[in-house]
Structure 1
């Protein structure tokens, strides 16, 4: 019987965000979430190796169709069987579609991603964005491949799927580019938000020669349970302090209603909100092909993978049930 590496949630026994093996299967006991080691701390900067491992995992699930009793246990106690019909590939970077991550969805609610496959192990979405490195605290620039995986999970899985109203005409972001200028907000051992910027002089889109005329505060997200604690203001302040020599800085449009919120009675902030609503047409448009805020998302789509004896695997797009397509991506609250 084949051996597969497994990870559960930190400090939790099987049945609470863990993987239960087949009877008689040998499991790996060293390190993992229970030992406080997380993907961002140990993942090599090798996207191709990551993709090959994910394809191998999918292939093994396909080979074991109908015979495997291995399951992933949700925090609710519900068990999700690890089988090919419940796993999908997501594109991590919009400009490099070959970089993908394998995710496990709840078969009863295919909009909900419950785990991701990283470093030959299944990790709950919460453990996948944790860190054991005490130096990761506050705003940290995204540099490593592991940090870009965390950025993707925050952006596409947590904001795009778990903390956004999927039944409403709500806003979401497209997957970021592979070289996106971004910072992640780390707090008490977990990633709780991020913001990205467009640099002055960088192209507005891959299909245009138009450049940004000033640094732009592009996308920003703070997890729901960490909002109203000053983190959004801290990120905006950090952005401003990053460009001390620039006379003007920009903020991407369109903006979510929450971004316009002002404390009651603060007339100055309310005036700014009204001005922002009416003056956006004065700034250069960024709707050229390839613009991150205007393209149809691929991160909102999960992709089935089929085995192909000649090519190893063929990847085919597959949208989620009930998921509207073609929305505009906008800044989040």
Structure 2
């Protein structure tokens, strides 16, 4: 499907609700199982042979991190069933690239995720584009699906979604099992598509995050931070436990563009926690959120911060990033 055929892209369509999307997908899948003996339907993928639409190539993926009835019907690649080539939305199959497109001229720059259709775009960027299609083989990090009410912004440029970042709000619960809350706003996840990297999008999202919380004295940054993101922001690799800022970052600080104190939240065994094989994307389970403690604000509290808080079993180790 395409807007050029007189149709809008999924994110622009009205009436996009979880009930409608899930209902039409279940109805379609049920009919497909009943009519398995009929003539097969084919789906066109640019530059490749047509794919036969059969139930064995389809999966229902969870849209959100928490247990939910809302799932998306996807079509997997016949040559690699750990990879998705299309989504079933509005009674039609849509290529991944088309799900990320828009015909709305006002959808440009960083836009807050508010509608269900935008939640689908966030899911595709996170779980399919990053999780399956563009994730480096050397990268151990893998984001689980975001929560249903995750605070997120998508970066739109030239009619296409190319990046996103999410925030853990100050005061929000760290997980569903304890009463611990985030004591400062935390930049939780960030991703930029390969074709849009080295264009300053990572720096723009970091700047937007800082400007969103002008009243806060300190902001948090989740770890681990990938090597690609260090280059995107840009920053040098950690040396002696402290990141060396590039001239561009130092200049922005002098100009007042980024004046926040940033705390790097480095959970114990974070690399192992996020290790996941590509095929596990179909069986992702919600992981326990990290505990968050507030960054010390003065010299006296900095000395005390070296000791783990009594009420925190998994304390963070802070490294100033900005």
TM-score range relative to shorter protein: 0.7 to 0.9
2:115 is the counterpart of 1:144? yes
Q: CA RMSD in A?
A: 3.5
Matches within 5 A, 1:51-200: 51-165=22-136, 167-168=137-138, 170-200=140-170
2:202 is the counterpart of 1:232? yes
- Superposed displacement of residue 112, structure 1: 1.7
1:275 to 242, 247, 253: 242
Say which SS state the counterpart of residue 68 (structure 2) adopts. strand
Q: Which moved more, 1:74-83 or 1:240-249?
A: 74-83
Say which SS state the counterpart of residue 141 (structure 2) adopts. coil
Say which SS state the counterpart of residue 93 (structure 1) adopts. coil
Say which SS state the counterpart of residue 110 (structure 2) adopts. strand
Contact residue 142 and residue 276 of structure 2 kept, 8 A: no
Contact residue 174 and residue 299 of structure 1 kept, 8 A: no
Contact residue 174 and residue 298 of structure 1 kept, 8 A: no
Segments of structure 1 that go 5 or more residues without pairing to the other structure are 1-6, 11-31, 288-292, 303-316, 320-324
String of CA shifts for 1:262-306, please: whole Å, max 9, x gaps. Answer: 899x8xx556894159xx99858599xxxxx8698999443xxxx
Contact residue 223 and residue 264 of structure 2 kept, 8 A: no
Q: Note closer, same or farther for the CA distance 1:326–1:101 as it changes in structure 2 (3 Å cut).
A: closer
Segments of structure 2 that go 5 or more residues without pairing to the other structure are 245-261, 291-322
Contact residue 171 and residue 328 of structure 1 kept, 8 A: no
Contact residue 200 and residue 232 of structure 2 kept, 8 A: no
Contact residue 201 and residue 211 of structure 1 kept, 8 A: yes
TM-score by length of 1: 0.72
1:241 to 207, 211, 225: 211
What residue number does 2:254 align with? none
Q: Note closer, same or farther for the CA distance 1:222–1:231 as it changes in structure 2 (3 Å cut).
A: same
- Superposed displacement of residue 88, structure 1: 0.6
Instruction: Find the aligned partners of 2:233 and 2:223 in 1 and give their Cα distance.
Output: 22
String of CA shifts for 1:51-104, please: whole Å, max 9, x gaps. Answer: 111101111111221323211111123111011111110000011421100000
TM-score by length of 2: 0.75
2:10 is the counterpart of 1:39? yes
String of CA shifts for 1:1-32, please: whole Å, max 9, x gaps. Answer: xxxxxx2xx4xxxxxxxxxxxxxxxxxxxxx5
2:220 is the counterpart of 1:220? no
Q: Note closer, same or farther for the CA distance 1:66–1:144 as it changes in structure 2 (3 Å cut).
A: same
- Superposed displacement of residue 130, structure 1: 0.6
Instruction: Find the aligned partners of 1:85 and 1:261 in 2 and give their Cα distance.
Output: 41
Say which SS state the counterpart of residue 202 (structure 1) adopts. coil
Q: Note closer, same or farther for the CA distance 1:80–1:182 as it changes in structure 2 (3 Å cut).
A: same
Which protein has greater RCO, CA pairs closer than 8 Å, 6+ apart?
A: 1
Say which SS state the counterpart of residue 191 (structure 1) adopts. strand
Say which SS state the counterpart of residue 242 (structure 2) adopts. helix
Contact residue 204 and residue 286 of structure 1 kept, 8 A: no
